[in-house]
Amino acid sequence: MQTNAPGQGNQRGVADAIIEFLEAAGIDACFGVPGGQNIPLYAAARKRGYRHILMHDERNAAIAADAYARISGKAGVCDATVGPGATNLVSGLAEAFSSSIPVLALVADIKTTREHLRHRGVASQAFEQQAVFASVAKWVGRIHTPAITHEILEHALRVACTGRPGPVVVEVPEDVFSAALPEAAARAVTVSSAAWPRYRSAPLADDVAKAAALLKQAKRPVILAGGGSFAVQAGAEILSLAEKLGAPIVTSINGKGVVDERHPLAAGVIGVFGDVRASTILKSADVVLVLGSKFAQFNSFMWRLPDAQQTIIHVDLDGAELGRAIPSVLPIVADARETAIHIAAAIGDGKRPVWAFKQATPPQPGTAPDDPAIAPEAVMEAINAQSDERTILVSDASLSSGWTASRYTVKGAGRKYISPRGLAGIGWAGGAAIGAAAAAPKGARIVAVAGDGAAGYWLGEMETAARFNLPITYVVLNNSGYGWVVQGERMLGITPQSTFGAVDFSSVARGLGVPAVVVEKGADLGAEVARSFGANGPHLLDIRSSDQSSPSVDYALLDPDAASAYGAYGMG
């Protein structure tokens, strides 16, 4: 096989073709960690001036690609070398798979002549990585020879962005990465190749008529918008339909911000980590139009809301989701945006008055007034005071998702709030903030909110943010432990608890090139958040927050006669 030394000579190689392909598809960033086998990709990117963001950990690279896809509306791309690089990608790809986000992972492999030496790493770093990726990817492909490079990449994006989106993996053997590429192998690719969804599906006319009839007869209609509504950019159409129906709009966490949360019909996020008022409104509905939600455990209080007494119209691109967690009266396999458009047309002109959904609700869970530590909800209020329509909030998992989903207000419709609710693993926000910053429009401020337990996973990526001078405000809710777990351990009488020694995250951040400050007093909170928003580049706030407070909503708040919907401390 003819080879081309990486970065030398004028011969066009497979690595060059990969970078050219990404450029033609309109994907202007790739996130990854180099190794011996994928060096040609780095050489090609640098030679062409392509924006490759060198990360410290492959997991964070996959997460960054996920966030890039969520914010940009294009597939995200990450890379890793064979073996240990490949295994590090898995957690990030698993989140993208569970949240239906299109990511293209370019993974190096051993030379094609060493296949018989793969098992147990006889060939350096080798193992059966395709089998590992099979459970976290829609498709695992391989560029066996240079001639099929474009064909494989094109199909990879087709799979990632078609139907229910998700990650795909393309393996590139070491010798293929460095090989020369026949000129005749090039195929046409455009920016539409990486956009998602690639195709749209309209609902059947009979289903539209049935849905319109049910909604017109409803006395208390509610629209529940999930992450699938974002995937098809359905915000404007959902709001238009809601105004016709006089229906409040509640969302899952992944649907948060599909409409401007300051709008009178925007009622908030439902579920354990949501707004009590939003869940109360959903529980009061007689007809619920569900657009692109899989009824995840936390959003539905362990599949109790919506309930069997309500008339549910469930719309999803993936027919396998319809009836899987909660049964519906009318299941519709279709694009949420197209369905909203068709139902609105069937309902006709005019707007119904909004039903009286502003009834009193139980208070939102939070921090006790006599708690001396900084209340996480006060942190959210300070962030709300500084945020505008350009702000993008990136939330980590666990309690951070609860504080941000229930207390942060998205200003302006659009994907301006993202969190890892597919797999819900902590340690997501650091990589995601970098991906969001790479995709965000000029002038946007990225706010990454995480507990100290989650921050421990991505501390090294603050150097990445400093190196690229990314506009990220890191907010670490520092209570010296795995807060969610510690609260559960207290309830169960388990000692010792999952706590840490005291960590000064501000010192760590400064060591990595990020200006930082410790915030110990609530009186200083507003000024420090404002200063961080005004920073030229990244800035970290190490906030000494309460280890006693919890944002979790118990279903018993909505139905006093019901038992807890999520077990002793939220795990179900």
- Among 35-49, 186-200, 367-381, which stretch is predicted with the lowest mean pLDDT? 186-200
Predicted model pTM: 0.95
Q: Is the pLDDT of residue 564 over 80?
A: no
pLDDT of residue 191: 83
Name the CA radius of gyration of the chain, rounded: 24
286, burial (CB in 10 Å: exposed 0-12, middle 13-18, buried 19+): middle
Q: Distances in Å between the alpha carbon of 310 and those of 212, 305, 475, 559?
A: 16, 9, 40, 15
pLDDT per residue as tens digits for the range 217-257: 999 999 999 999 998 999 999 999 999 999 999 999 999 99
Name which residue leads in pLDDT, 114 or 314. Answer: 314
Give SS3 for 154.
helix
Q: Is the pLDDT of residue 464 over 50?
A: yes
The answer to whether 86 and 132 are in contact (CB under 8 A) is yes
Where do you find CATH 3.40.50.970 in the chain? 14-193, 376-544
The answer to whether 314 and 328 are in contact (CB under 8 A) is yes
The answer to whether 387 and 411 are in contact (CB under 8 A) is yes
The answer to whether 31 and 53 are in contact (CB under 8 A) is yes
**Helix/strand/coil (H/E/C) assignment for every residue in 229-293:** HHHCCCHHHHHHHHHHHCCCEEECCCCCCCCCCCCCCEEEECCCCCCHHHHHHHHHCCEEEEECC
Q: Looking at domain 205-347, does it have CATH number 3.40.50.1220?
A: yes
- pLDDT interval class at 569 (50, 70, 90): very low
pLDDT per residue as tens digits for the range 476-518: 999 999 998 998 899 899 999 999 999 999 999 999 999 999 9
Token pair, residue 471, equals 């506009």
pLDDT per residue as tens digits for the range 286-319: 999 999 999 999 999 999 999 989 999 999 999 9
pLDDT of residue 184: 57
pLDDT per residue as tens digits for the range 334-372: 999 999 999 999 999 989 998 987 666 889 999 999 999
- Among 107-121, 204-218, 446-460, which stretch is predicted with the lowest mean pLDDT? 107-121
- pLDDT interval class at 185 (50, 70, 90): low
- What amino acid occupies position 514? V
Torsions phi, psi for 76 (to 5 deg): -90, 160
pLDDT of residue 7: 42
Q: Is the pLDDT of residue 271 over 50?
A: yes
Tell me the percentage of the chain whose pLDDT exceeds 70. Answer: 95
Cβ density class 320-342: b for 16+ within 10 Å, e for less: ebbeebbebebbbbbbbbbbbbb
Mean predicted confidence (pLDDT) in 249-278: 96
- pLDDT interval class at 181 (50, 70, 90): confident
pLDDT of residue 310: 97
Give 555's contacts (C-beta < 8 A, 6+ positions apart).
301, 302, 304, 305, 562, 564, 565, 566
pLDDT of residue 107: 97
pLDDT of residue 8: 44
What span, in angstroms and rounded, lies between the C-alpha atoms of 567 and 572?
5
Q: Distances in Å between the alpha carbon of 214 and those of 196, 198, 415, 449?
A: 31, 31, 30, 41
- CATH superfamily of the 14-193 domain: Thiamin diphosphate (ThDP)-binding fold, Pyr/PP domains (3.40.50.970)
Q: Is the pLDDT of residue 566 over 90?
A: no
List beta partners, residue 543.
477, 519
When the pLDDT of each residue in the chain is averaged and rounded to a whole number, the result is 93
The answer to whether 272 and 298 are in contact (CB under 8 A) is yes
H/E run at residue 39? helix 39-48
Mean predicted confidence (pLDDT) in 534-558: 95
Where do you find CATH 3.40.50.1220 in the chain? 205-347
- Among 116-130, 142-156, 396-410, which stretch is predicted with the lowest mean pLDDT? 116-130
pLDDT of residue 568: 39
Q: Is the pLDDT of residue 528 over 70?
A: yes
pLDDT of residue 128: 87
pLDDT of residue 5: 45
Q: Distances in Å between the alpha carbon of 250 and those of 116, 291, 562?
A: 55, 11, 22
The class level of CATH for 376-544 reads alpha beta
pLDDT of residue 187: 65
Q: Is the pLDDT of residue 2 over 50?
A: no
Name which residue leads in pLDDT, 209 or 110. Answer: 209
- For the stretch 42-48, contacts whose Cβ atoms lie closer than 8 Å and that sit 24 or more positions apart, written own/partner, are 43/6, 43/7, 43/15, 44/6, 44/7, 44/13, 44/15, 44/16, 44/18, 44/19, 45/19, 46/7, 47/7, 47/16, 48/16, 48/19, 48/20, 48/23
